[in-house]
Structure 1
Amino acid sequence: MTSAPPPTVAVRGEAELEVDPELARLLVTVSARDRDRGRTLTRLTERLDALRRHIASFGAAVERADTGSLWVQPEYRDTKRPGERVSGYRGSAELRITVVEFGVLGELLLGIADRELTVVAGPWWGLRPDSPVHRQVREEAVRASLERARQYAAALGSSLTGLVELADQGLGGGGPEPVAYGGPAGMMRAAAPAGAPPLPQLELEPVKQRVRATVEARWTMSPPADL
């Protein structure tokens, strides 16, 4: 006679950590305008090169400065009437900056925002994809699932005997990776007008990151003693 399979208990384990951010990201848009296409591109390149030199002056505090999209397009006197003559050209380029030493952010941002036809957005705070915090919160979620399963088993007078399955929540629904929450310190600055007084000092407070992980586990247990 085949024996009955052991009873199982299915539980969910959750964990959340609140930690300091490891990165601050900025998006800078540099623009140029001129009646000549070539001069527009030249001015755009010069401003982008000058911006890169400014960023490079902060050394290792800035981990990356990657060029995003770059475009130059004509401007028309009357956009509603096709065939009108081109009145000039406008170009823009994006630079995506990753800062790892937050003490320089204020100076860096003000130095960027004080430039002609330049707009900066951010910072957006975050963690590295390989941050040890992700592993830590996963492990805590697993321990939480084990503790919860033990509590259910103990309530029945049983004890856990083995692990049947351990999976990230949903396994294709909610996504396996821990999720980090921490909004940007939303900020947008355009260049100051020529002759304006010096910009004030800017201090930014890093936004704490909440990292969450959820697992689903199924455990076998001994038969309940009181049933």
Structure 2
Amino acid sequence: MTSPQNPPYGTPEAPLLTVRGEATLEVDPEIARIGITITARGRDRRTTLDDLTRRNTTALDLVKSYGDAIENLSTGAVSLTPELTHRGRGERVRTYHGTIHLTTELNDFTALGELTTRLADLDLTRIDGPSWELRPTSPVHRQARQQAVHEAVQRANEYAEALGTTVAALLELTDTGTASGRPRSAFDRRAVRFSMAAADTETAAPEPLDLEPQRMQVRAEVSAQFTMNPPHL
């Protein structure tokens, strides 16, 4: 509640000062997310479904074998779709297409490159990503907000000092925008997207990809209103 001595508008006895505080932090990502699309196709529905189930189990077991490096693993859309062909007076199923979409998040970026290549080495498996992110609970978000508030207070004091006076009271503080972790630049966005149509004839494990984490930007902005002691102009 605003006291009569500090009304929510400027007066000669209590001039109003409105400032903005901003903060942009550049930090390393905390997690990496990759998308996994597993595919099966065949002329028989049951056989296609069995192949899809087997490949899904293989991919899940591979991801889970990385233990604590896996922060999250979830299954998305699952589909088994017949492809029809027109022949004569009726329709016939030419083939069946099955897909399963998985998403996994890793906190170990060394394991990320190895897991990505091993997944891509599986039959009919497509990999999308990685996308680099911060956790919603990351302390970086709080740090950015606090830094934005400190900048607003500093600006207010600097303006008051320029007028030969001081800040009297805070009337209002508004969070005008907080951007969660995002890639440093849109031009920095890179994605690994590839798939294997059939098993590699080589028996040796594929070389791990060297994936460099993208730096993230966290931005916070506040608007603050203060009253000042009357300056002597």
Shared fold by TM > 0.5?
Answer: yes
Counterpart contact for 2:124–2:196, Cα < 8 Å: yes
Check conservation: 1:185, 1:207, Cα contact below 8 A.
Answer: no
Query: Secondary structure of the residue that 1:47 maps to in structure 2?
Result: helix
1:16 equivalenced with 2:57 (yes/no): no
Q: In the TM superposition, what whole-angstrom CA distance separates every residue of 1:149-192 from its partner, at most 9, and x where no partner exists?
A: 111111111100110000011xxxxxx43332216431102116
- Answer yes or no: is the 8 Å Cα contact 2:121–2:199 preserved in 1: no
Match of 2:54?
46
2-side partners of 1:85 and 1:108: how far apart? 40
Which residue is equivalent to 1:68? 76
2:142 to 115, 118, 135: 135
Spell out the pairing of 1:166-181 with structure 2 (5 A cutoff).
166-169=173-176, 176-181=177-182
Question: Of the candidates 183, 188, 209, which is equivalent to residue 216 of structure 2?
Answer: 209
CA contact (8 A) 1:107 1:201 kept: yes
Q: Which residue of 1 aligns with 2:172?
A: 165
Instruction: Determine if the alignment matches structure 1 residue 186 to structure 2 residue 194.
Output: no
Q: Which moved more, 1:88-97 or 1:187-196?
A: 187-196
TM superposition shift of 1:124: 0.2
Give the AA of the match of 1:191: M
Which deviates more, 118-127 or 83-92?
83-92
Distance in structure 2 (CA, Å) of the matches to 1:193 and 1:34: 14
Please state whether the residue corresponding to 1:84 is helix, strand or coil.
strand
1:181 corresponds to which letter in structure 2? R
Q: Which moved more, 1:111-120 or 1:33-42?
A: 33-42
Q: What amino acid is the match of 1:134?
A: H
SS of aligned partner of 2:178: coil
Pairwise CA distance, 1:45: 1.2
Cα contact 1:138–1:178 (8 A) shared by 2: no
Q: Residues of 1 paired with 2:22 and 2:85: CA distance?
A: 60
After TM superposition, give the deviation of residue 41 of structure 1 in Å. 1.7
Match of 1:56 in 2: 64
Structure 2 residue ranges without an equivalent (≥5): 6-10
Instruction: Assess if the C-alpha contact under 8 Å between 2:173 and 2:223 holds in 1.
Output: yes
Aligned equivalents of 1:193 and 1:47: distance in 2?
Answer: 12
Q: Judging changes above 3 Å, is the alpha-carbon distance between structure 1 residues 195 and 149 closer, same or farther for their aligned structure 2 residues?
A: closer
Provide structure 1 residue ranges, at least 5 long, that are not aligned to the other structure. Answer: 170-175
Compare the two structures and name the one with the higher strand fraction.
2
Q: Give distance in 2, aligned partners of 1:160 and 1:36.
A: 78
Distance 1:82 1:48 in 2: 37
**Cα deviation code 1:172-213 (max 9, x no counterpart):** xxxx43332216431102116444445333111111101100
Aligned to 1:220: 227
Q: Distance in 1 between matches of 2:121 and 2:207?
A: 11
